[in-house]
Amino acid sequence: MRKLVQIFLSAKTFRSTKLKRSPRDIRWTVLYRIKHKKGSYGQENVQRKKVKKTTHTLNRAVAGMSLEAILAKRNQTSDFRRQQREQAAKAAKEANKAARAAKAAMNKGSYGQENVQRKKVKKTTHTLNRAVAGMSLEAILAKRNQTSDFRRQQREQAAKAAKEANKAARAAKAAMNKEKKPTTQKMKPPKPVKTAAPRVGGKR
């Protein structure tokens, strides 16, 4: 641990430190003179407390506003300012309304007919029909114009034809197998007969 080096002015101060005396109780210390307001410490503090600061406000004009206008604005009441705000808001609303009316009249006079013509014009979209690989243009148009009932009937007919073709193929395959393999009756092997052993002796 680092030790603190203490330097004393005299043996008297060293002895006072050892006895743990407070410097505020010893007459010749600065802390005693501050505590008990001795000499300059006391008189200066008393004079400082008695002196009061006075502030002076300087009124002067600024750029764009005279001194009379600033003082008049400062002396305005809250009711007068509220009335001024209401009047300014009303004037702004009227100006905005007049501007909208003038703009609407200008649009109606100069651009009204053009807007009507633009509304009447309808956009027409052209679809390009063309043939694809493996299908002609007439076949594509005919397929597009088919109704849902016609398509359902076509699906049912195709399913029926597929079933009949599958049935005929199964019958032909069965006939071919029948011609190739002659029918032979399978003989069942005879069952083994259990023979009982001869009895010897009397009753068991």
Residue 181 CA, distance from chain mean position: 79
Give me the residue label for tokens 């649009």.
Answer: 107
Give me the residue label for tokens 């300087």.
Answer: 58
- What's residue 109's pLDDT? 73
pTM check: above 0.85? no
- What's residue 127's pLDDT? 72
Ranking 51-65, 117-131, 149-163 by mean pLDDT, the lowest is 117-131
Domain boundaries, the chain: 11-49
2-11, 39-48, 102-111: range with highest mean pLDDT: 2-11
- Structural tokens at position 141: 């148009």
Q: What percent of the chain has pLDDT over 70?
A: 79
Mean pLDDT of the 143-171 span: 91
Which among 39, 11, 37, 34 is positioned nearest to 23, based on CA atoms? 34
- What's residue 66's pLDDT? 85
pLDDT tens for 21-67 read 999 999 988 999 999 988 888 765 556 666 678 887 777 788 778 88
Sign of the four-CA dihedral 13, 17, 22, 23 = positive
**Which of 195 and 19 is assigned the larger pLDDT?**
19
Whether residue 112 has pLDDT greater than 60: no
Whether residue 162 has pLDDT greater than 90: yes
**Distance between CA atoms of 66 and 51, rounded to whole angstroms?**
36
Whether residue 75 has pLDDT greater than 70: yes
Q: How far, in Å, are 6, 130, 137 from residue 3 at the CA level?
A: 10, 105, 110
Whether residue 180 has pLDDT greater than 60: yes
Whether residue 93 has pLDDT greater than 60: yes
